[in-house]
Amino acid sequence: MMSSKISAEPQKSGLLLLDKPADFSSHDIIAISRRILKTKKIGHSGTLDPMATGLLILLVGREATRRQDAFLKLPKTYQARLQLGAETDSWDAYGEVTRQTPVPPLTPEQVRQAAQALTGTIRQPIPFFSAKRIGGKHMYDLARQGLPMERRYNDVTVQWQDIRLLAPDKIEFTVFCSCGTYVRSLGYLLAKQLGCAGHLTALRRLQIGPYCVQDAFDGNLLKNADAQVLYARVTPIRL
């Protein structure tokens, strides 16, 4: 009978690429993986919001988790959809609507110009509903308690790879960005640049450094996977 004991070190060290489904937090995925692989030594290369799908790299074993800082600093590529006309407290579809505005008539060229104004190194507002810590506490915990917070900012580098006006009030875009970028913030800033409110309705991470979501294990299959299946997907580190 196979032991259910959780060990410090896994059978195999390396990277496990997962395609995270929506409605799971990154910590949910890590907890499930720890249970299946029977090891506590699992880290990550950057979390995804519960609404988001796409590439989540799990760092399995001591050798991999020691490299976590290097993985966290890798640039990332995302695809997102932006709904114009309504802003939420979380700047995504999981939040409560806090503001509504008319959407001005827009052309594809106006949308491209707005994105161009947000290209390069920009100062980005950090969402109140984020894992950023203030005084040792996550901002999302403070926000849920209704506690007042000053808006915080960080500098990030952004390249818009594709941007399309899908409907008079809907935009889809692909963006390549530095670590620390909140794509929800980019949606907020883009809507503001266009003269209206907005929030993300979809977000998918396509790539982290050289690693692509096409090579990832389907996270919808994770709960029913066994250790043998997952260890077969653990690959050596290449950076």
Query: Across all residues in the chain, what is the average pLDDT?
Result: 91
* Residue 5: pLDDT over 60: no
Structure token pair of residue 50: 């519960």
The larger pLDDT score, comparing residue 238 to residue 3, is at 238
**Long-range pairs for 149-156: beta carbons < 8 A, 24 or more residues apart:** 151/125, 151/126, 152/125, 152/126, 153/123, 153/124, 153/125, 153/126, 154/123, 154/124, 154/126, 154/180, 155/121, 155/122, 155/123, 155/124, 156/121, 156/122, 156/124, 156/180, 156/181
Share of the chain above pLDDT 70, in %: 95
1: confidence class by pLDDT, cuts 50, 70, 90: very low
Digit-coded pLDDT (tens) for 23-71: 999 999 999 999 999 888 999 988 898 999 999 999 999 889 999 999 9
Q: Which part of the chain is CATH 3.30.2350.10?
A: 14-73+209-233, 77-207
Specify the DSSP class assigned to residue 119: -
The larger pLDDT score, comparing residue 12 to residue 49, is at 49
pLDDT of residue 7: 54
Digit-coded pLDDT (tens) for 200-233: 999 999 999 999 999 999 999 999 999 999 999 9
Specify the DSSP class assigned to residue 126: P
Rounded distance, CA 82 to CA 190, Å?
9
Rounded distance, CA 211 to CA 215, Å?
8
Instruction: Name every residue whose Cβ is closer than 8 Å to that of residue 214 and which is 6 or more positions away in sequence.
Output: none
Rounded distance, CA 236 to CA 215, Å?
14
Cα 133 to Cα 14, 18, 71, 138, 139: the distances in Å are: 29, 26, 20, 4, 6
CATH class of 77-207: alpha beta
Element of type H or E holding 82: strand 76-84
- Letter string b/e over residues 116-132, b meaning 16 or more CB atoms within 10 A of that residue's CB: eebeeebebbbbbbbeb
User: What pTM did the predictor assign?
Assistant: 0.91
Superfamily of chain region 14-73+209-233: Pseudouridine synthase (3.30.2350.10)
- The active-site residue out of 23, 28, 49, 162 is 49
Digit-coded pLDDT (tens) for 114-149: 999 999 999 999 888 777 777 777 777 777 877 777
The larger pLDDT score, comparing residue 237 to residue 138, is at 237
49 catalytic residue (yes or no): yes
